[in-house]
Chains A and B, each alone.
Chain A
Amino acid sequence: GDSVTQMEGPVTLSEEAFLTINCTYTATGYPSLFWYVQYPGEGLQLLLKATKADDKGSNKGFEATYRKETTSFHLEKGSVQVSDSAVYFCALSAGMNRDDKIIFGKGTRLHILP
């Protein structure tokens, strides 16, 4: 079945460091791909998305490119801030049927040190 694998955390970086969180997927169709973020004590919120191969999603300085050839959707940010400390989830939505689900990775906790 469809699945999402993302790098284990926690990831600890200093402020202004470069961030990469790896995400790879397995899907039979042509999924849409998402990154969600969960700040402490809150639910998940959409950070960015991409709907087809070579699309780049971006928001708040974060970027991810839909790579069909490597089945990847790695999250990157050039200079992280303390306020980026959160848990990040990679996810895919595989179809248009009414009972299709969104499939999440296990999440990567990010700590940014001042």
Chain B
Amino acid sequence: DVKVTQSSRYLVKRTGEKVFLECVQDMDHENMFWYRQDPGLGLRLIYFSYDVKMKEKGDIPEGYSVSREKKERFSLILESASTNQTSMYLCASSTQGLLNTEAFFGQGTRLTVV
């Protein structure tokens, strides 16, 4: 069974902390994505990566960075957490080069910044 695994289901962090959200996929997918999900706003793309060490900004990259040192792992970093980054974070992966490629999602990390 294919899998995208996020390291935590729930996290509570303090304002100003550096926060790492980890995502691992076991499908040998080239593409990996980080989204945040907020009520009324749907899914918004933060960053994505189409290869090791490659990254592209999504729609809302401010306040975030990412790291992809290995193909199977994509990390989202909040350099200095703020309360407006309280949200549900979703990681996804997909293959490249296929028009009908679908995204596979992790179970989500609900982050609360206090």
A interface residue numbers (CB < 8 A to B): 30, 32, 34, 36, 41-46, 49, 51, 89, 91, 93, 95-96, 98-99, 101-102, 104-107
Contact = CB atoms under 8 A, between A and B. Distances in A.
Given A43-B107, A43-B108, A96 B43 contact: no
Contacts of B56: 99
Contact of A98 (B35, B43, B92, B96): B96
A93 B50 contact: no
A107 B99 contact: no
Main secondary structure of the interface of B (DSSP, over half): loop
B42 A106 contact: yes
Nearest to B31: A98
Interface in B63-114: 90, 92, 94, 96-108
A104 B43 contact: yes
Given A43-B108, A89-B42, A101-B33, A34 B102 contact: yes
B98 A96 contact: yes
A93 B105 CA distance: 15
A96 B30 CA distance: 13
Contacts, number: 67
B100 A93 contact: yes
B50 A102 contact: no
Contacts of A41: 108
Given A43-B106, A93-B99, A98-B50, A107 B30 contact: no
Contacts of B45: 101
A15 B103 CA distance: 30
Contacts of B107: 42-43
A7 B89 CA distance: 23
Contacts of A42: 107-108
Contact of B99 (A32, A36, A89, A105): A32
A93 B42 contact: no
A101 B43 CA distance: 13
